[in-house]
Chain A
Amino acid sequence: MAVVRIVIVECVGGPAVAGVIDDYLRGLQNELRHTGRGSRRMLRETEAHLHESVRQELDAGLAPPNAEAAAIERFGPVHDVGLCMRTELLRHRVSRHATQSVIVLPLGVLLAGAFAAGFLDDVAGYSPALAALPAVEVLLIVGMVAVAIRTFAGRRLDTTLTVRRANGLALLTLAIVGLQVATTVAAHAAANAQQQAEDARAARNAREPAVHVDPGCTSDQTLQQLRGYVANPASIPEPRRSQLRQCLTEISTAFADGLSRSFAGLGPALGRALIVAVGLFDAAVLLLAAMITGVPAWRDRRRLAALVTA
């Protein structure tokens, strides 16, 4: 309401504004809600146009009420005109948001990808190419979505009535980037934990001197001897007893080491899986956004088609 009042004050000097024009502008303002700053200019231009039109009608000899009614009638039904203006304003707005998203989203994804690649490469010898994979995937999809939005916004004006939902695309961008960074941090934490575990194991090994066993310990002959010892432990002579203990220690250490290496691979694998999952999530969300923006407003479609808009 405030906008209408301000506009009327600014147009002092025109013909007396009757309630009819005031009501029309109020109705138009209502139609142009949530369309951004452009609506204010549309309202101003509409009011200036109506004043000019009324003045011409008065000059032509019409009585004021008839002049106002004629001006409004020529301008068009408020809902139709509002629909037409709203469509153009939203098209412009969506186009702007699409441009912002196209700039912000790839940058964010690339930054997050580089962030992930840098961390993982430094910490866990993680291939940067793997971290960049989802980023490339998202970039491609962003490109496709951008083309889709631009097409809808430029050629099929009626679809843009629902495209206002795409205003959330910029926020979505931030959310995706945030998620990507969070995933990277999680992967980094996993890699860090793995590194700490490896460090601890290395320190433990350093404390325990390496066991050097006679190579003959693993020969067939020794194996036979070992079987004999297992069958009759009391028959193990004292020097052999000590050697056998060392041999078993080495075997158990080697087994534990192998087991540890197997589990150690889980850290980077988990990080990789998380990043790929986020990439897929990005793709799904962006496709969803494209679907939302592509849904035509069937209710307004026919009405808009009947209007004279290019």
Chain B
Amino acid sequence: MRDPGRDHPQRSSQPAGQLDRLRQHLDGVLLAVLADGPAHGYALIQEVRRRSGEAFDLPEGTLYPALHRLEGAKLVTSSWEKAAGRRRRVYTLTNRGRGALETERESWRSFASSLSSVLGVQPWPA
């Protein structure tokens, strides 16, 4: 349960560099979440937060421009759906989006592996 009086401790304590890094990979993050199935914006942001262990606490309003951009690139499609009397836009990954996600994963693996080697830590994946 959220504390009514709390002032988003995670976001305020979130290092700026982490947000910067997330910004560069936001498309991949969203595609990865959508790979598990269609989702609306609110569910997407909650899932990103959950998967990152509350580390990625994005300003939620920044999610929609990213989704529009992905839709413009035909990586996702969207449609209005009605659930419990409320309309919400649900996003679905396209085949092209799956391809882009694979490319993003490969790119990240390669980058992470190289960086791990340079930094002298265990290469990922081990």
Is A45 interfacial (CB-CB < 8 Å)? yes
Residues of B contacting A45 in the complex (Cβ-Cβ under 8 angstroms):
41, 64, 88-89
The contact sample of 13 A-B pairs, CB cut-off 8 A, is A13-B86, A14-B85, A45-B89, A46-B64, A52-B88, A53-B60, A61-B1, A70-B2, A80-B61, A85-B61, A87-B65, A89-B65, A308-B26
Is B76 interfacial (CB-CB < 8 Å)? no
Cα A76 to Cα B59 with chains together (Å): 5
B84 touching A13 by the CB < 8 A rule?
A: yes
Q: By DSSP majority rule, is chain B's interface helix, strand, loop, or mixed?
A: helix
Which of B8, B25, B87 is the one whose CB lies under 8 Å from A48? B87
Given known A85-B64, A87-B65, contact A74–B23 (CB-CB < 8 A)? no
A63 touching B4 by the CB < 8 A rule?
A: yes
Which of B4, B22, B58 is the one whose CB lies under 8 Å from A62? B4
Is A254 interfacial (CB-CB < 8 Å)? no
CB distance from B111 to the nearest CB of A (A): 16
Is A310 interfacial (CB-CB < 8 Å)? yes
Residues of B contacting A87 in the complex (Cβ-Cβ under 8 angstroms):
65
CB distance from A29 to the nearest CB of B (A): 14
- Residues 42-64 of chain A, each 1 if its beta carbon lies under 8 Å from chain B, else 0: 10111011011100110011110
Cα A227 to Cα B58 with chains together (Å): 106
Is A88 interfacial (CB-CB < 8 Å)? yes
Is B24 interfacial (CB-CB < 8 Å)? yes
Which of A42, A81, A309 is the one whose CB lies under 8 Å from B23? A309
Residues of A contacting B122 in the complex (Cβ-Cβ under 8 angstroms):
none
Which of A11, A75, A92, A310 is the one whose CB lies under 8 Å from B27? A310
CB distance from A93 to the nearest CB of B (A): 11
A308 touching B22 by the CB < 8 A rule?
A: yes
**Interface residues in B16-67 (C-beta closer than 8 Å to A):** 19, 22-27, 40-42, 58-62, 64-66
Which of A11, A14, A63, A84 is the one whose CB lies under 8 Å from B62? A84
CB distance from A57 to the nearest CB of B (A): 7
B85 touching A13 by the CB < 8 A rule?
A: yes
Q: How large is the interface on A (under 10, 10 to 19, 20 to 34, 35 or more residues)?
A: 35 or more
A76 touching B22 by the CB < 8 A rule?
A: no
Q: By DSSP majority rule, is chain A's interface helix, strand, loop, or mixed?
A: helix
Residues of B contacting A41 in the complex (Cβ-Cβ under 8 angstroms):
89
CB distance from B67 to the nearest CB of A (A): 8
A309 touching B87 by the CB < 8 A rule?
A: no
A38 touching B68 by the CB < 8 A rule?
A: yes
Residues of A contacting B65 in the complex (Cβ-Cβ under 8 angstroms):
42, 84-85, 87-89, 309
Cα A126 to Cα B65 with chains together (Å): 54
Which of B26, B42, B72 is the one whose CB lies under 8 Å from A309? B26
Cα A70 to Cα B2 with chains together (Å): 10
Is B69 interfacial (CB-CB < 8 Å)? yes
Cα A80 to Cα B7 with chains together (Å): 18
Given known A14-B86, A73-B8, contact A81–B62 (CB-CB < 8 A)? yes
Residues of A contacting B27 in the complex (Cβ-Cβ under 8 angstroms):
310
Residues of A contacting B58 in the complex (Cβ-Cβ under 8 angstroms):
308
Residues of A contacting B23 in the complex (Cβ-Cβ under 8 angstroms):
307-310
Residues of B contacting A75 in the complex (Cβ-Cβ under 8 angstroms):
59-61
B68 touching A88 by the CB < 8 A rule?
A: yes
Residue in B7, B59, B61, B89 whose Cβ sees the most chain A Cβ within 10 Å: B61
- Residues 1-30 of chain A, each 1 if its beta carbon lies under 8 Å from chain B, else 0: 000000000111110000000000000000
A14-B85, A53-B60, A81-B62 are known contacts; what are 10 more A-B pairs with Cβ within 8 Å? A13-B86, A41-B89, A42-B64, A48-B87, A61-B1, A74-B59, A75-B61, A81-B61, A88-B68, A307-B23
CB distance from A249 to the nearest CB of B (A): 80
Given known A48-B88, A60-B1, A84-B65, contact A308–B19 (CB-CB < 8 A)? yes
